[in-house]
């Protein structure tokens, strides 16, 4: 399933529908922020990384930039597309983006079951956070 990574700052109506579906599927463990709060999240230092397939958002991760660090949170994939490599592809493209932008990616709250995947993708565990150094 080929996924395109996109940074969303102004979601379309279809994007809001997709984000709502992802929230409904994953509210307890993924996209915990409801769409009503996402609207205020999208400011100059906040955005949404979206994974698209066939023009629909199927994966999402929230991002907040603080200097040369981009903090990632609320990673989620629609339940009907889970276990198909969506988050793997999103992380791959995020790492490429981080290197191009010369920023580091930081994931603070990662479920333990996912930590081997981060380690395999060259994230380093430092002070209870997983960091990918895109500035190197």
Residues 81-93: b if buried by 16+ CB within 10 A, e if exposed: bbeeebbebbbeb
Residues 118-132: b if buried by 16+ CB within 10 A, e if exposed: beeeebeeeeeebbb
pLDDT digits (tens, 9 = 90+) for 34-71: 888 888 888 767 889 998 988 898 889 999 988 889 99
Enumerate helices (H) and strands (E) in the chain, giving the number of each: 4, 7
The domain 4-132: what is its CATH number? 3.40.630.30
The token pair that represents 110 in the structure block = 């990662």
Q: Global pTM?
A: 0.86
Q: Averaged over 89-108, what is the pLDDT?
A: 90
The token pair that represents 62 in the structure block = 């929230």
């Amino acid at each position: 399933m080929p996924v395109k990574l996109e940074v969303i700052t102004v979601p379309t109506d279809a994007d809001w529908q997709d984000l709502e579906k992802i929230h409904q599927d994953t509210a307890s463990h993924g996209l915990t922020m409801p769409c009503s709060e996402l609207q205020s999240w999208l400011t100059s230092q906040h955005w949404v990384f979206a994974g698209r397939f066939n023009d629909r958002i199927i994966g999402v991760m929230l991002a907040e930039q603080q200097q040369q660090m981009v903090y990632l949170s609320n990673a989620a994939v629609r339940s009907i597309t889970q276990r198909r490599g969506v988050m793997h592809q999103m992380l791959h493209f995020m790492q490429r983006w981080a290197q191009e932008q010369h920023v580091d990616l930081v994931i603070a709250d990662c479920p333990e079951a996912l930590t081997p995947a981060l380690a395999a993708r060259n994230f380093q565990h430092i002070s209870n956070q997983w960091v990918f150094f895109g500035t190197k």
